[in-house]
Structure 1
Amino acid sequence: MEKIDIPQEENKILEGHRKVMYVSDEKGEFHTENYGSSVEEFATKTAVEEFDLLAKESLKKIQLNEASPIEYYMYKNRMDFPTLVSVVGMFSFRVKRHLKMKNFKKLSDKILNRYCEAFNISLEELKGFKV
């Protein structure tokens, strides 16, 4: 990418910091260049708002005893399902079962600790989750 093509817009989400991009100069050599993009800022804001909405919906499902706290913490930590599966290192069908309250209540502390590590919370926080 040539230097003239690099966006230099302000990105408020980065709080004054700039991202770095590798660019090539006229000689074909690569170096780093700071950049900012309002399009990227919009996409980030939209994604964060979506995860916040999913977390709120998850709280309602927990109250109805349909979803487990794992689902809430997944969205609170801005993870989607494939990311959570990857982080906890389990098969997706197992994680999917753990997202249901009836299965969550049967989980051992060993399994719950894997989720606690993924969400950076204590076992007591996960087991004692209150809506």
Structure 2
Amino acid sequence: MQKIEVPKEENKILEGHQKVMYSTDEKGDFQRINYGSSVEEFATQVAVEEYEVLKVESLENIKKGLSSPIEYFMFENRMDLPTLASVVEMFQFRVKRHLKMKHFKKLNDKILSKYAQAFNIKIEELKDFKV
């Protein structure tokens, strides 16, 4: 079996931690290999910056009464719609409705508690969200 070259560059985003990749050695046995990649670091940094932009836009939309605090916390926790829907165990179309302020205002505590648990916050932080 051909040995694969694994990059071992430092990744500043991981703050000193390393990722692990599993590969086979000459005998065909699995082994752990620490790796890092500047390309992966760049992609991660771009994604983090994009979520920061989405958070700022979300705050502006909350001020205008368009978006709900759920949208802000979704971006704060670096989630997208499919991820959040999966975590709260609801259909995406339903979660998408809850991202709008007019539907958010009608949510009961049972539904809000699912979101609060997903974001690891208290229900009051969702209800009394201040921009």
For residues 51-70 of structure 1, the aligned pairs below 5 Å read 51-70=51-70
Match of residue 25 from structure 1 = 25
* SS in structure 2 of the partner of residue 84 of structure 1: helix
Deviation at 1:2, TM superposition (A): 2.2
Give, in whole Å, the separation in 2 of the partners of 1:2 and 1:50: 36
Query: How far did 1:122 drift?
Result: 0.3
Matched, 1:104 2:104: yes
Percent identity between the two aligned chains: 67
How far has the Cα of 1:96 moved from its partner? 1.0
**Aligned twin of 1:37:** 37
Structure 2 CA distance, aligned partners of 1:41 and 1:24?
25
C-alpha deviation, 1:93, in angstroms: 1.5
Give the deviation of 1:95 after TM superposition: 0.7
C-alpha distance in 1, partners of 2:92/2:36? 36
Size of the aligned set, in residue pairs, is 130
User: TM-score when scaled to structure 2?
Assistant: 0.96
Q: Give the TM-score, by structure 1 length.
A: 0.96
Alignment partner of 1:81 is 2:81: yes
- RMSD of the TM alignment (CA)? 1.0
Gaps of 5+ in 2: none
User: Which blocks of at least 5 consecutive residues in structure 1 are unaligned?
Assistant: none
Deviation at 1:54, TM superposition (A): 0.3
